Amino acid sequence: MATLDADDRAKLRKSQFAYVDRKGGEHLPIHDESHVRNAIARFNQTDFQSKTAKEQARRKIKAAAKRFGIDVGADSNVAKPAS
């Protein structure tokens, strides 16, 4: 995965993260292929403030994966809506 130091992370737009919490904390960067893959892998390790926030993040990750040509496996937690 490409390194994302604090300066580079600060330059990213909020839309380049799958999840931004109520306090403005940015989680799961999805601005490049390697970070999308990492977001897929870490999706279930992230604490979301609500089911709605989790579902919105899941959709953003899936859309980013499609943009970068990444196949999201059917058994992935990102592949299916939260129950």
The residue written with tokens 């040509």 in the block is 69
The domain tally of the chain equals 1
* pLDDT for the residue numbered 81: 85
pTM, two decimal places = 0.92
Q: Is residue 3 part of a domain?
A: no
Domain range enclosing 32: 16-83
Q: Is residue 40 part of a domain?
A: yes
Checking if the pLDDT of 83 tops 90, the result is: no
More confident residue, 5 or 49: 49
Q: Is residue 7 part of a domain?
A: no
Q: Is residue 8 part of a domain?
A: no
Question: How many CB atoms lie under 10 A from the CB of residue 23?
Answer: 6
Q: Is residue 71 part of a domain?
A: yes
Tell me the pLDDT tens digit for each residue of 25-50.
Answer: 999 999 999 999 999 999 999 999 99
* pLDDT for the residue numbered 62: 97
Report how far residue 25's alpha carbon sits from residue 74's, in angstroms, rounded to the nearest whole number.
29
